[in-house]
Amino acid sequence: MKRLLSLFIAASLFVGCSDSGTSSPQHQTLASAATSSAAYQSLAINEDANAWWHNAIIYEIWPRSFYDADGDGSGDFNGMTSKLDYLKDLGVNGIWLTPVFEAPSYHGYDFQDFYKVESDYGTMEEFENFIVEAHKRDIKVILDLVLNHISDKHDWFIKSANKEAGYEDYFIWRDERPASGWGQPWSSESNPAAVWHWNETRNAYYYGAFGSSQPDLNLTKQVVVDELNKLATFWLEKGVDGFRLDAVRYAVEEGGYPLQADTQGTIDYWALFTRHVKSIKPDAMLVAEAWADLNTIGKYRDNGKGLDSAFDFDFGTMVIDILNPAVKQSADFGTLGNNKLQQNRENLWANLQARKAAAPMNYFAPFLTNHDQNRIMLSLNNDMNKARIAASLLMTTPGTLYMYYGEEIGMSQYKTGDDQYRRAIMQWADEPSAGFNSTANFWLDQGKWFPWVQNHEGWFAHYWQGLQGKGLSVAAQSADENSLLNHYKRLIAVRNANPTLKQPDEIRYYPVENQDVWLVEVLGKTGSVWVLINLNSTAAAEVELPKPLQGARTEKLSGQAMHLGERITLKPAEALIF
């Protein structure tokens, strides 16, 4: 993607690769107009995207932290069901649940039983009721599915370690640990001990990219593939609408680094899995977690035979780079794709071009942060104006969008150093329990969830006590017309009412003289939408307006009628949509 910087010339039209679709005659005309104009640069998209997720805003929930209906300190299915009306009012139309299968850990990514829901969250009947109630509100639900690895406490692993007939090769075993060439697959550092783990029962080493408690499944064995297809069928028949697929890059290893990631065997496996899922539920959505550059991520579409969608990790990284260039960012389980790009608005245009170059634009799913990253508010130094800018940029970019729970109210985190701080309790109300339950019990303050921490000290209750009364709860922000929550609601309402924002046929970028202003026009079958955002959180920005924008307009976020002249001044962090 670094090569894309050379494409920044005035009035250039970017044409995508063969997997991106081709421009219609209409857009060839638009291209000619763009090339002859010095006012803007143009990106023709013109894609046919009719699946439900192409128009979706999907809200990621960490179930243990969202809402606790029974007061035991952990969120649950009944709690999430009780908050569906909140999500409907927010305007989202999809939910991504991080793991809800029975697992020994608090996070659940080490599945112990594929066919049971996490008992801490409730019963299967309560889960099924959650799905039914979500669907009543036209909200889709996708589940986090980890097929790369499972818990070392799973029956399959125990049977394989004992060489029980039929299970010997469910995992990847070796008599000797490789001397070199192997390591964590997202790093070039040779460290075989990090991924090859000794098992006393079998007297052999097994491969586990994510640690000894999470052995990798052998996805080259048909019996394993068949079992995983069976479990996907089970949950699709429960009514779920698709899966977020964890760690897709690491499914099939073909040797030491770099053959531990993004192999042809991996891409082929996901194509086969996709085919099976579509045979059960044709409109099920599969989204890939592939923490890499966009060109690598694009491979998992596999020319339409592979996965439906993939997260655009670069987008959130770029937004943070623009708003707080000093913050150090990292990819815990992958690689950052844009670490040498300029830290200014040109990043946003480069990102759009890179998406179109790597795959159809509608394949990529932009987001700000998720459960594996520091919350964006922390990265923005808890600056509410910067959070407003980030929200405006996210809600006006094309693609399937994802939000992390609490981003809409500016949830931050206690500190860094452990993932638990990124996954804290949802702040519903300014009361000792944070409105999370009726008991003020919090799983984060219960040492049983952190066996690797000696003398664990609870921290959330004290942390939240210091935040109460500062307008950082849903209740407080609902009552404040100018809050971040209400800004999100207005942005989402405008996006939902304007299909052009979700799936434009063309995007025109105006590199106006004021570098603090992001100004684009998106054009589609229902007309055009103009977006102006002041990227400066502290200073107003005056800008000369393109002639086509001037005249009588209605600003969509406020509903205010305006007459636009040659120039306009944007307030700090202000967004205007016409």
Catalytic residue numbers, as ranges: 246, 289
- The residues near 369 (Cβ < 8 Å, ≥ 6 apart) are 316, 375, 376, 379, 404, 407
Token pair for 302: 């596999």
* Residue 417: strand, helix, or coil: coil
Distance CA 489, CA 481 (A): 10
* Residue 20: strand, helix, or coil: helix
Residues of the chain by 3-state class (helix, strand, coil), percent to 5: 35, 15, 45
Tell me phi and psi for residue 407, to 5 degrees: -60, -30
Distance CA 317, CA 340 (A): 12
Cis bond upstream, residue 432 (ω within 30): no
With the C-alpha atoms ordered 542, 391, 362, 327, is the resulting torsion angle positive or negative?
A: positive
* Residue 507: strand, helix, or coil: strand
Distance CA 68, CA 374 (A): 24
Token pair for 395: 């809600």
Distance CA 290, CA 113 (A): 25
Distance CA 418, CA 325 (A): 23
8 A C-beta contact, residue 182 and residue 256: yes
* DSSP assignment of 186-234: T--S--GGGTEEEETTTTEEEE-TT-TTSPBB-TTSHHHHHHHHHHHHH
8 A C-beta contact, residue 365 and residue 56: no
